A and B are shown apart, each in its own frame.
Chain A
Amino acid sequence: MARAVTNRRKSVNTILAWIVGLVIFFPILWTILTSFKTEAQAISSPPVFLFFDWTLENYGVVQERSDYMRFLWNSVIIAGGSTLIGVIIAVPAAWSMAFVPSRRTKDILLWMLSTKMLPAVGVLYPIYLMFIRLGLLDTRTGLVIVVMLINLPIIVWMLYTYFREIPVDILEAARMDGASLKEEILHVLTPMAVPGIASTLLLNFILAWNEAFWTLNLTAAKAAPLTAFIASYSSPEGLFFAKLSAASTMAIAPILILGWFSQKQLVRGLTFGAVK
């Protein structure tokens, strides 16, 4: 009897999860569907869902008008570079705060997070002026640095919480066995922290990929990533929703595929330490 209740609850939960998932995914699904419509079908009311003349025309037009590969390459460099550098900086920081905490560790962590509380536009001018001086405007290097810095607090926080879950006893045992600090980090800590580091990498890659304030404001023609590619299809006077949707689909496709293949890793990392 108890088993039957569990099964029923299980199926209710599954259905609920599917509904929530579909609601969350619906805007993306709608964008993808719209990208295969004509401009007239894209705005038709009542909206058409599946029964329309599927066309690839919008993708052709977008491909012809924009150099998609250049935007894509910029996105890969900016998201990949900023995430990698961020993790390299954050691992030692999180390690020291998790395993050798001082009286001020909590304050430092909060202070790091507080930088995320300021609206980005508040520091647009100072950063823009610094970029002019340093010749970093419209360069991928400049964007890697900025995007890395804005995501760094999140990376440190995530790694810190993962590291905290690792029993100190194991590290102490390694020390007792005569492991040096380097050996301790490389051979003991890292293997245990791999799921945490991997999900941090993935999540921050996605965050950096989607970053649309700095990547729009600090680029022009050369370093513009896919966020600028999408923005270029919005029109104040003209109905180009199907083309805008095609551009959006092309921009999110790589990250969607990456997310799909790494979902196990992502979920494992995100729930790591949730159950003791």
Chain B
Amino acid sequence: MYARNALRAATALCLVAGGGAFADTITVATVNNGDMIRMQGLTEDFTARTGHEVEWVTLEENVLRQRVTTDITTKGGQFDVMTIGMYETPIWGKNGWLIPLDDLSADYDVDDLLPAMRDGLSHDGTLYAAPFYGESSMIMYRKDLMEKAGLTMPDAPDWDFVAEAARAMTDKAGETYGICLRGKAGWGENMAFLTTLANSFGARWFDEDWKPQFDSPEWKAAIDFYLDLMADAGPPGASGNGFNENLSLFQQGKCGMWIDATVAASFVTNPDDSAVADKVGFALAPDDGKGKRANWLWAWALAIPAGTDNAEAATAFIEWATSKDYIELVAAKEGWANVPPGARTSLYENPNYKDIPFAEMTLDSIKAADPLDPTVDPVPYVGIQFVAIPEFAGIATQTGQEFSAALAGQQTADEALEKAQAITAEEMEAAGY
């Protein structure tokens, strides 16, 4: 009798202890973007649904990348969920650093993820990260300035029109510049934009034998076009401007056009921050008649590092943060303009979201981007504004410095292209290509 009672007690204890063990504490590493800040504010909803607690580690983007790379390669196990981009995901997935997300629940509806996002976050057809929010790039322009210049922006303009409009809108004495483009050096800064520009001009990073192509006439045409346009219609000091700097200029009404991330649309149309909120129009990124538009594809995605002890809770977190329910939750608390965009097809079918002025153009831009077929001529790599190989970040940061220096007037386009070709050839040879 005693033995039986003891057994019962022990079983009950195990159940209690076991029940306790199901409630884990997971550590989520992320960056300080608006959508992530909102997610942190809604953590209680996740805890209420699953019982799991969340500890947040928010870091500067480059620090985060270095931090999680160190942890993942040494199997440090400090993070259960990490925020990574479309560049890292296929590389890390290939290396076996991430747990495949092939076991998501039926409720999650993985087929609802936008195909371009799903392709970009997969390696060999296996999904390794779930898109929290996705973006392409597009033109944001001032409708009033366009009208004043006597021009009408088509939905799908070409570069000639953009150049003409930029020059017509420029009034340097009045501190209005026709076009604001990225100039700050960095693989995720000026090289993201310049690579898409080059793609639309028919250029590519590498030919099918991995030979660098900066000596091609297409790259020359693209860089010449960029430098001429920025000299005539760009703001002063553009070689120091990245996303945030151009956002600030546009919000203060100093840019006629700005070609950048679609996610900026919600910032420039927010009357709390933007002086031109009610004057902004949107158009697809330009092309040069060669069949490719100058728009990129990017996702801030959530992934689980191999080696975590809390894979189950981490999966539950990712399912929560990238679910349809999460979008509804944000909409209920913060309004539809603030839901994380660019990840799910169903969002763009939602009648509540269709009224948002930038929704349709964002979706069209994302659809116009194909990471598996990014250029006019065939290439051996995946990625639109980047090349999904580990060496790319280092190479593109160096070449980015050359083009930034050319924009600052410290060297000519030819010199920058020549150096970019030499840097890339040397690094690729060292890497064994």
Chain A residues packing against B (C-beta within 8 Å): 39-40, 43-45, 65, 124-125, 128-129, 131-132, 137-138, 216-217, 220-222, 224, 228, 231-240
Contacts and interface: CB of A to CB of B under 8 A. Distances in A.
29 contacts: A40-B273, A40-B275, A43-B251, A65-B41, A128-B76, A129-B74, A132-B75, A138-B78, A216-B59, A216-B63, A217-B67, A220-B55, A220-B57, A220-B79, A221-B55, A221-B56, A221-B57, A222-B55, A232-B32, A234-B32, A234-B60, A235-B34, A235-B244, A237-B34, A237-B243, A238-B34, A238-B244, A238-B267, A239-B247
Counting from the closest, the 6 A-B pairs by CB-CB distance are A232-B58, A221-B55, A234-B60, A43-B248, A235-B32, A236-B61
A224 B243 CA distance: 28
A260 to B, nearest CB: 29
A239 B248 contact: yes
A222 B58 CA distance: 13
Interface string B232-264: 000000000001100111011010000001011
Q: Please classify how large the interface on chain B is, using the bins under 10, 10 to 19, 20 to 34, 35 or more.
A: 35 or more
B410 interface: no
Interface in B139-190: 188
A236 B252 contact: no
A125 B63 CA distance: 15
Given A232-B32, A236-B33, A237-B33, A65 B40 contact: yes
User: Interface residues of A: mostly helix, strand, loop or mixed?
Assistant: loop
Contact of A239 (B29, B58, B244): B244
Interface in B90-109: none
Nearest to A132: B76
Nearest to A222: B55
A236 B85 CA distance: 12
Nearest to A124: B70
Q: Which of A39, A128, A216, A238 has the most CB of B within 10 A?
A: A238
B31 interface: yes
Contacts of A224: 57
A231 B75 contact: no
A224 B27 CA distance: 13
B397 to A, nearest CB: 15
Interface of B: 27, 29, 31-34, 37, 40-41, 55-61, 63, 66-67, 70-71, 73-79, 188, 243-244, 247-249, 251-252, 254, 261, 263-264, 267, 273, 275
B33 A231 contact: no
A125 B252 CA distance: 45
Given A233-B32, A236-B243, A237-B263, A220 B248 contact: no
A212 to B, nearest CB: 9
Contacts of B261: 237
A44 B76 contact: no
Q: Which of B32, B57, B248 has the most CB of A within 10 A?
A: B32
B76 A238 contact: no
Given A43-B252, A132-B77, 15 more contacts: A65-B37, A128-B71, A132-B74, A138-B78, A216-B59, A224-B57, A232-B57, A232-B58, A235-B33, A236-B31, A236-B188, A236-B243, A237-B33, A238-B32, A239-B267
A224 B56 CA distance: 11
Nearest to B37: A65
A129 B59 CA distance: 22
B244 to A, nearest CB: 6
B136 to A, nearest CB: 14
